[in-house]
Amino acid sequence: MGVAPFETIKLPPGKMIMPGVIGHASDIIEHPRLIADRLTNYARLVGPENVVAGTDCGLGTRNGHAEITWAKLEAMAEGARLASSEMYGRVAVHAV
């Protein structure tokens, strides 16, 4: 979906979003900086307290390549730490 809808539609009070910041369809491991940029783009529109990092779909289809799955999740966690540090000066955006 991307950030565009959140430029005109307000997030309902008490709701959070979990944008997919890592992909399931390729073996490419996203760079933490790219993940942080994606998270901060959402946070800029809906507030950082309303953003939780997630995958764009399940990673169970990696066909036995657990090391790729774990590397993607590690990159997501590091990207969330970077985004949190930039927005708060501390870790606050969560990766699930």
72: in domain: yes
Query: Which residues, in sequence order, are bridge partners of residue 52?
Result: 94
What pLDDT score was predicted for residue 95? 52
In a domain, residue 32? The reply is: yes
Q: How far apart, in whole angstroms, are the C-alpha atoms of residue 38 and residue 41?
A: 5
Does some domain include residue 77?
yes
Question: Is the residue at 79 inside a domain?
Answer: yes
Closest CA to 16 of 49, 38, 40, 58: 49
Q: Band of the pLDDT at 1, cuts 50, 70, 90?
A: low
pLDDT at residue 25, as a whole number: 85
- Cα–Cα distance between 82 and 33 in angstroms, integer? 7
Number of domains in the chain: 1
Let me know if residue 27 belongs to a domain.
yes
pLDDT of amino acid 5: 84
Range of the domain at 50: 16-59+66-95
Task: Report yes or no on 55 lying in a domain.
Answer: yes
